[in-house]
Structures are given as C-alpha cells and as structure tokens.
Structure 1
Amino acid sequence: IRRTIGMAAALYVITFISVYFFGGLYRYRIEDEFQSTYVKEQLDEQYQRLESERDDIIQKYSRLISSSDKLEKSNKTLSKSIAEFYTLNQISQAIGSILDTKELLKRLNDIILGVVGGSYSTIILYDEESGRLKVHTTNVVNPGDLATIKDNINSSILLDTFMKGEYILENNVDYYQYIFTCGRNINSLMCIPLTTGSRKFGLILVEHTLSNAFDTENVRFLKIIAQQVGIVMENAELYLKMKEMARIDGLTGIYNRQYFQERLQSEFKEAQKNGYPLSLVIYDIDYFKKFNDMYGHLFGDKVLKSVAEVVVSTLRKSDVIARYGGEEFTILLPRTSLDEAYEKVETLRKLIANHVIEDNLISVSVTASFGVSSFDECALTENDLVRTADDALYEAKSAGRNCVMTARRLYEAKH
C-alpha cells in the first residue's frame, strides 16, 4: 500500500510538474503570439501613418510645384504688363503733345515699326469728301510698290475692315485677296481700325515678309496704340476747330483782325523771300452809320454779312479777307500786282453796288470805297503797306466814295 501511495504521489508530482512546465510554455507562447500581433498592429499603424504622411507630402509638393508654375507665369505676365505699360507711356509722351496730324502720324508710323517689328507700316486715312481711303504715311519708298498700294488701297477687304471696325490678322497672305501687297513678298499682315467711340479716322496696316509673324497679342497691343492715337487725333481736330473759331469774326464768318495780322506777316515774308508782289485792299461800306440809324442794328449786321459774302464769292483760294473793325474790311492778294489788284477791286466795287440786300419789307443797295497798295510798288514794309492802303482809302472817301484809289507808287506817278 505504501508503495502504491508512493507511486501515486510521485505520479501526481510528475503530472503537476509537467502541467506547470507545459502550461508555462503555452502561456509564454500565447504571450509571444499576442506580443507579435500587437507589434505587428503597431507597425501596420505606423506604416499607414507614414503612407498618409508621404501622400500628404506628395500633395504639398505637387501644390508647391503648381504654385511655382503659377508664380512663374504671373511673373512673366507682370513683366510683360510692365514692359507694355512702359512702352505705352513712352508712346503717350511721344505723341501726346503733338497737335499737327501729319507729324503725329509720321511719329506713330516710326513707333509701330519699332514696337511691333514689321517690315512695313502704313497709315491709311478716310477722306470723307471722296468717300475713299488714302495712304497718308508709309515707309514704303519704292515708287512702283508705293503706286501699287495707292492704286489698290480701296480694296473691298480694307473697306469692309474700316466700315465694320474689325481687325485683320493674316499669317499666310494670298496676293489675290490682298492685291495691295503684290511685288513686296508680304507673307503676314495685320490691319487695325484707327477709331474712337465717335469717329472713324482710318486704318493701321502692318506687313511682314515672314510667315506667322504676328499673333493675337500683337493685335491686342496695336489696338491699344490705335485707341490712344485716335484720341490724340480727335483732340488735334478739336484744337484746330477751336483755333479756327478764334480766328473767325462771329458776325460775318470771315477772318478777324488778329488772324489778318498773323497772315499779313507770313505772306509779306514769303513775298520778300520769293520776290513776288503782294497787294493789300482796305475798304469800308459807305454811309454805314446811316443804315444803322435808319433800319436798326440788326439790318446793319445783315448788310455787313451780305457784303462779306459778295466779296468772298469772288476771291481765290490764296486770297485772305478779314473784318478789320466795324464796317472796315481788308483783303490780301498774294502774287497780285497793283494794276491787277485795281482791276479786280473795281469789278468787286461794281458787284457790291449792284447787289440788293433784302429783309422783310426793306430792300436796299450799298456802295463801298476802296484803297489799294502793293509790295513792292508802293511799300517796302508791312506797316507801310497798311498805311499806304489806308491813305488810299481816305482819298477814295474824299473823292466822293464808291470808288477805288491806289497808293502812290514809289518810283512812278500814282494811278
């Protein structure tokens, strides 16, 4: 029994030790597997986090590259805009103070060639009287080429461009379509209307011997230049109109005394320089105060205007008539000798005397007295020319009015 009990006890101990040992091994294995699983999960999480961070970095890098490209494009656009602004500012300074249209368009043509870089630049203006386009300024100097342009500038394609206010951009020129380009090897051209909101002045034609020489950016820039020039041209026209209005007598519509003095000075210099005669006529309406007192100032104004119209109708384009003051008028007759002036004025005197002035129930005729002098038969200076003509007028009044008297010649007896 003891032996059996001892064996049982030993077996129990062995069993216990085996269970404890193998149980520990199993526990360690379970713990190791659990630890491995935990580490793996931690690694997976860290890997996913790194992947996410990598994707985020890639996105940020892509955005940075995109921003860099955009910044580079913006810098290029800004640089281009600054250069464009500087060029336009220079153009404005160059043309802004020019009030002479001829000089303005000549300067514009030079600027276009420098800025756009074409082979040829031509400014075309529209003549309202003839209803046709005309070449105003161009750098085409060959007589044959210039004749081709002028003869064909009124082609339908250019007239349509002008009338519709549209532009032409052509980088593969067909000579049959653009006949004005024949003979100059033109392969590219652009044509921009020269207009403002209220006026159509003409066209700017830029040509190049190279193909594909122009693009829409060239067109856009040239349009801006054309708009600026159109405004300057409009201002120049307004300035000339204002200047012309300042020269005109408001009542009669002929030149005033101030302009007469300017014109006398310039005409006298030309006569001296070129050695031709210059005659001066001073006349006034006889008994004008009587008409004013009898019929009133309104009818007196009508007499002044009517007599001025009669005189203007007989003058040449080179002649100048002005109201000198009150009822007194002056006429400049370039390249006209004293005898020729006398004959012309005598005819004029008769026309005035035979002219009937009517206003409602009033119907009258007036006469005028004339004094005539001439450079260099009667005077050698401007002042002497005016003085001697005025003296001759005084003699005409003293002789009974309604007559023509000439100044005393310097070397001969008077007329």
Structure 2
Amino acid sequence: MSFQNAPLFKTEQQLRGRAELLQKATTALTAELELPQLLEQVMDYLGGVVSYDSVCLFLVEGDGGTVRAVAGRGFDKPNEIIDRLYKSDTLFSIVARQKSPLVLQDTLNDDRFCRWGGAEHIRGWMCLPLIWREKIIGFMTVDSRKVNAYNNEDAKYAQAFANQAASAIQISRLFTEAQALAISDPLTGVYNRRYFFELAGQHVASARESNQTASAIMIDVDNYKKVNDTYGHLSGDQILKVVTECFTSVLSEEEILARMGGDEFIILLPNQNRAQAEHVAERLRSTLEHAAIRVKDAEVAVTASFGVAEIDPARMDLDDMINRADQALYFSKNAGRNTVS
C-alpha cells in the first residue's frame, strides 16, 4: 500500500468499524424490551460511538413542553438530575426544531446552556434528538470536561446511533403500554378483573402455604345509574375516576384495588382479618362521602356500599370469600346504602 493511500485506508477502516458497531448496537438494543435495562445498554454502546464524561437521556412528556431525565451517568449528584422534570430550554427547542444535533465547543461561553443539577464539569457538549417516525420523543446529551471535544463528524456518527436508540426506546415504551393495558382498566387505571383474579389467586396460595389470612371488600357506587341518567355517561366516567382516586388515597401498596366492571370495585387485603378489613372499608366510605365532586358546575354527593369477608381458613377458597363479600355488599345496599357490612 502506497504512502498516499494510507489515510484513505485508515478512513475506510474507521467507517467499516463504525458500521459494524452500529449494526451490533442495533441488534442488541432492539432485543431488549424492558426500558430501564435498555437505557443502560444505550449508554454502554454510546461509549463505543463517542467518548464522554457524562451522558443524560431525556424523554418528552405531555405536550412536549417538558422532558424527564430518565437515565444518566457521570454526574457527581445524579439524584439532583435523574427522574426529574424539566422545561424544554432554548437549546432543546433548537434541536427539536432542526431535528439535528447541536454541538457547543465550550458551554462556559454560551449563555443558553443550563447546568441542571449543578453539572459544573461540562465544557464540551452535544445534544442529539431522539426521533421516531419524524417525531421528537426525547434527547440525548453527551458531555465532556474538555473544550472542543466534539465536531460535526462526531455529531453525525452519534446521531446515526441515536436514531437506532430512539427506535428501540419507542418499541420498549409501546411494549410497556401494551402490558399495562393487558392488566389495567382503561378508564380508571387500576387493575382489571382478569388480572385481579390472577394476582389474588397468587396471594391466596401464598397465604395457604404460610398459614396467613386475607380479606376482600366488594364495593358498589350508590345510585350510579341515576348519575348517568342525570348528567350523562361522560360525567359518570368522571365520577368513577374520582372514586378511584379517593380509594387509592386511602389504600396502601399491599392492598390490591381493581374494577370489576361498571360501578363495581373489589379490594384484596393480604394478611388482614375481617376486623382490619372493616376498618379499611369504613375509611374508604368516609373519604368518599366527604369528597367534593363537581360535575358540570354542580356538586354531586357520591357514596358507596361495602361488603367485607375474610377467607375461610378451612377452605382457603378465593371464590368463596368473594361470594360472601358480595352477599355482604347486597346486605349493605338493602340496609340503605353508604354503609359497611
């Protein structure tokens, strides 16, 4: 090989190496569907694409006016940066508008740069848009302690990687959303009936093995049909959302709330006896009774009836417990509603 051709050969080797790395990264990233693990892999492979001292991944939330820092490395105080919401600043707005990378040779000489979380070490800086189907879904910021750390060639190569990362991130988010829809009630966001029985069955089996107890609360919103007829179905949906918020404000993480359908809810209380479950049900009843619920500029009084049952230690049968809670619920409704039985 002639001396004149040596630079060309070296360039060809670099391009081939970059192409191989991008292909390897794409294969690995698209195979990972869990977002936290995927974000870690993105930062791992980024180090082979371009050197950095710190990096942060932001995902757009809501209407695009805010971004959340979802992952990062190399920061002295990561808790002051990661998992926080930020308003899209001037630099992010420029990158979003141009849909192309932005490089700062020295952040100290650019008043537009915001040192979120006290990231004082950053001098060289590069921001890459995460684009999926022409839509900005986030940003990746790459930081260096050195001035003039990045050039346009670095940005071009890093953007090729960012495009692959954006596709993998969006696939992961869609996968997570699909999983949530499979187990959640689309209106209220709590567990749906199918997943409740799957989860409750696991808890009852565990209680049987460890000689523990469990209780269930069946709930029915009082006069819900009348609310629908008076204010319309959209208002009825709004009330179910408020009812859910009231319940979740009272319940602990261990207490499992689900919507059975219509205006009926169910709660499983692992390791709680009937007396404890009745106490929880009374707190739920009181919280809902005193909630200020407004529908079409009118304040609506909403109450619910509750039925409580503890699992039979001799049978440890989930269906039997729920049937007895359901019978107690109807006793509450026949007793005048807005009560616990």
Q: TM-score, normalised by structure 1?
A: 0.57
Partner of 2:171: 235
Q: Which has the higher contact order (CA 8 A, sep 6+)?
A: 2
Partner of 1:23: none
Structure 1: state its 5+ residue gaps: 1-63, 292-300, 356-365, 407-415
**CA distance in 1 between partners of 2:13 and 2:328 (Å):** 78
Partner of 1:314: 246
Tell me how far 1:350 sits from its aligned partner: 6.9
The amino acid of 2:164's aligned partner reads Q
Is residue 52 of structure 2 the alignment partner of residue 118 of structure 1? yes
SS in 2 for 1:205: strand
Q: 1:161 to 1:153 in 2, by over 3 A?
A: farther
Equivalent pair of 1:369/1:393 in contact (CA under 8 Å): no
Equivalent pair of 1:194/1:230 in contact (CA under 8 Å): yes
**CA distance in 2 between partners of 1:253 and 1:138 (Å):** 29
- Bigger radius of gyration among the two: 1
Instruction: Map Cα deviations across residues 100-123 of structure 1 (whole Å, 9 max, x no partner).
Output: 323222221222124312121121
Partner of 1:106: 40
The partner residue of 1:343 within 260, 278, 282 is 282
Partner of 2:326: 393
The amino acid of 1:315's aligned partner reads F
Is residue 146 of structure 2 the alignment partner of residue 207 of structure 1? no
SS in 2 for 1:314: helix
Q: 1:347 to 1:97 in 2, by over 3 A?
A: same
Structure 2: state its 5+ residue gaps: 226-232, 294-301
The partner residue of 1:142 within 66, 72, 76 is 76
Partner of 2:267: 331
Tell me how far 1:192 sits from its aligned partner: 1.0
**CA distance in 2 between partners of 1:369 and 1:151 (Å):** 40
Partner of 1:127: 61
Partner of 1:281: 217
The amino acid of 2:92's aligned partner reads L
Tell me how far 1:211 sits from its aligned partner: 3.3
Equivalent pair of 1:284/1:368 in contact (CA under 8 Å): yes
Aligned residues: 315
| Root-mean-square deviation over aligned CA pairs | 5.1
Q: 1:133 to 1:175 in 2, by over 3 A?
A: farther
Is residue 189 of structure 2 the alignment partner of residue 257 of structure 1? no
Tell me how far 1:271 sits from its aligned partner: 10
Equivalent pair of 2:127/2:139 in contact (CA under 8 Å): yes
Is residue 104 of structure 2 the alignment partner of residue 170 of structure 1? yes
SS in 1 for 2:308: strand
Tell me how far 1:223 sits from its aligned partner: 0.6
Please say which of residues 111-120 and 249-258 is displaced more in the overlay: 249-258
**CA distance in 2 between partners of 1:156 and 1:287 (Å):** 49
Tell me how far 1:235 sits from its aligned partner: 1.6
Instruction: Map Cα deviations across residues 80-131 of structure 1 (whole Å, 9 max, x no partner).
Output: 3331222112212322122232322222122212431212112123333793
Q: 1:136 to 1:186 in 2, by over 3 A?
A: same
Tell me how far 1:331 sits from its aligned partner: 2.8
**CA distance in 1 between partners of 2:223 and 2:66 (Å):** 50
Q: 1:370 to 1:234 in 2, by over 3 A?
A: same
Partner of 1:28: none
Equivalent pair of 2:204/2:318 in contact (CA under 8 Å): no
Q: TM-score, normalised by structure 2?
A: 0.67
Q: 1:304 to 1:126 in 2, by over 3 A?
A: closer
Partner of 1:93: 27
Equivalent pair of 2:59/2:138 in contact (CA under 8 Å): yes
**CA distance in 1 between partners of 2:119 and 2:282 (Å):** 55
Instruction: Map Cα deviations across residues 337-388 of structure 1 (whole Å, 9 max, x no partner).
Output: 323223135448979xxx9xxxxxxxxxx997632246xxx67799556633
SS in 2 for 1:213: coil
1:372-387 → structure 2 map (5 Å cutoff): 372-373=308-309, 384=317, 387=320
Identity %: 22
The amino acid of 2:145's aligned partner reads T
Tell me how far 1:227 sits from its aligned partner: 0.9
Q: 1:217 to 1:380 in 2, by over 3 A?
A: farther
Tell me how far 1:325 sits from its aligned partner: 6.4
**CA distance in 2 between partners of 1:114 and 1:269 (Å):** 48
Q: 1:121 to 1:383 in 2, by over 3 A?
A: farther
Please say which of residues 194-203 and 175-184 is displaced more in the overlay: 175-184
Partner of 1:216: 152
Partner of 2:230: none
Q: 1:335 to 1:232 in 2, by over 3 A?
A: farther
SS in 1 for 2:130: strand
**CA distance in 2 between partners of 1:252 and 1:155 (Å):** 30
Equivalent pair of 2:124/2:148 in contact (CA under 8 Å): yes
**CA distance in 2 between partners of 1:166 and 1:342 (Å):** 55
